[in-house]
Amino acid sequence: MMRNFNLEQVSVLANRFDIDGSVTDISPFGSGHINDTYRVLTNGDKVDGYLLQRINHHVFKNVPAVMENMQLVIHHLKEKYKEAGDQGMHVEKKVLTLVPTGESTPYLVDETGNFWRMLVLLANTQSYDIVETPQQAREGGLAFGHFQRLLSDLDVSRIHEVLPDFHHIGKRLDKLNQAIASDMVGRVSLVSAELDAIKRRQRRMHTILDLAADGLLPVRITHNDTKFNNVLLDMQDKAQCVIDLDTVMPGYVAYDFGDAIRTIINRAAEDEADLDKITLNMPLFEAYASGYFEEAHHFLTPEEVGSLIEGVLLLPYMQAVRFLTDFLEGDHYYKVHHVDHNLQRTRAQLRLVEQLEVHEAELKGIIDRVVNRYQ
Ligand code: GN1
Ligand code: MG
């Protein structure tokens, strides 16, 4: 897979976008596992800089569809903010802005077939891989709740399912089983404990799919990558902008809730090697749930509320299944920083599932308490 472009190549690409001024600095940016991101500074004064991103087309096989979704979502969000009375730069800071290319597409293709897009950099913002305070968690809940709420009147059928069955646990388990059967890189014998842990929990993890099959869960437009670091906070830790819109697709709200909690409730990193550090921070859970419900009580159905706890258990489990599948296939999906990285991530996510199971009653109690405020 093509990675690590030299900065000269990136600079040439940056200049093909409609940027203000000329490039003064380029550096790699962020901690994404899929796309490559560079921060581009210029001597222009209209904006604070840009983010140039190579969209990984091995993962996102239909980049034009990804970009159509992104444009539609951005347009809709900006209209909603304007309707609510937020004008000008204000809106530009709350919603991502794509930089025009001078061609008919909002992305460019380079001579080796890589896809690139550019966004306006939002300066004076911060994101956290590990949440530190209840205020941050609450702001995350408000941000993702508001995001879903603003998109609730956009017709779901207009959004492409750019990664089909992205959160379909049945399909994810099928893929894991195929990876076990072909054992392409001879690693299956190393992971029997992890496979046991996954098999044991399989049945319950289908609950959301079962509810959906019974027609009990509405399909909404969801973000599908609600890691906490996909919310930009301002310097006072107020939520400013939801980022990483690649995976905005039709989905169930429990997936977004669960993926956010996966990264908020864990006192340790997603790939923590010392499993004893993986413990639950309940006040952060309550704070996220409070923020989320403040927005989401306007549209959630009782069945959706009931499904949220299932999302909390499912998302770290699904992440473990995905990391393990990639480990068994030879690490070609996620960027890895060392040879066992995907295995380490798998173990960390499985430990998180274990912790969540132990504290399930407490988690449900917190959700009930928060929901009751609105009844
Ligand atoms: C990937 O690239 P990034 O960090 O935004 C992945 C998510 C995972 C996440 C795990 C398209 O997101 O689904 O939850 O890693 N994105 C895709 O950290 O697979
Ligand atoms: Mg992402």
Quick one: pLDDT at residue 357? 98
Quick one: pLDDT at residue 77? 97
Q: Of all atoms in ligand 1, which is nearest to the CA of residue 270?
A: 18
Residue closest via CA to ligand 1's atom 7 equals: 225
Q: Calculate mean pLDDT across residues 290-312.
A: 97
Return the best residue to mutate from 225, 272, 325, 337 for the ligand 1 pocket (most ligand atoms within 8 A of CB). 225
Quick one: pLDDT at residue 263? 97
Q: Is 254 helix (H, G, I), strand (E, B) or coil?
A: helix
Q: Calculate mean pLDDT across residues 304-322.
A: 98
Q: Which residues fall within 8 angstroms of residue 157, CB to CB, at 6 or more apart?
A: none
Q: Calculate mean pLDDT across residues 316-333.
A: 98
36 CB near ligand 1 (under 6 Å): no
Q: Examine the pLDDT at 1 and tell me if it is beyond 60.
A: no
SS3 sequence of 290-359: HHHHHHHCCCCCHHHHHHHHHHHHHHHHHHHHHHHHHHHHCCCCCCCCCCCHHHHHHHHHHHHHHHHHHC
Quick one: pLDDT at residue 87? 64
Quick one: pLDDT at residue 7? 84
Quick one: pLDDT at residue 160? 98
Q: Examine the pLDDT at 212 and tell me if it is beyond 80.
A: yes
Residue closest via CA to ligand 1's atom 8 equals: 225
Quick one: pLDDT at residue 375? 84
Q: Examine the pLDDT at 350 and tell me if it is beyond 80.
A: yes
Q: Examine the pLDDT at 341 and tell me if it is beyond 50.
A: yes
Rg (CA), the chain: 21
Nearest Cα residue to 69 out of 158, 175, 189 = 158
| pTM beyond 0.90, yes or no | yes
Task: Please give the structure tokens belonging to residue 221.
Answer: 């437009």
Return the best residue to mutate from 227, 255, 271 for the ligand 1 pocket (most ligand atoms within 8 A of CB). 227
Task: Say what the ipTM of the complex is.
Answer: 0.98
244 CB near ligand 1 (under 6 Å): yes
Q: Calculate mean pLDDT across residues 35-64.
A: 97
Nearest Cα residue to 286 out of 182, 146, 131 = 131
**pLDDT tens digits along 239-296:** 999 999 999 999 999 999 999 999 999 999 999 999 999 999 999 999 999 999 999 9
**pLDDT tens digits along 51-93:** 999 999 999 999 999 999 999 999 999 999 999 886 655 899 9
H/E stretch holding 51 reads strand 50-55
Q: Calculate mean pLDDT across residues 179-195.
A: 98
Q: Of all atoms in ligand 1, which is nearest to the CA of residue 35?
A: 2
Q: How far is the CA of 223 from the centre of ligand 2 (A)?
A: 9
Average pLDDT, the chain: 96
Q: Of all atoms in ligand 1, which is nearest to the CA of residue 224?
A: 13
The protein residues having their C-beta less than 5 angstroms from ligand 2 (an ion) are 225, 244
Q: Calculate mean pLDDT across residues 12-40.
A: 94
Please state, for a pLDDT cut of 90, what percent of the chain lies above it. 94
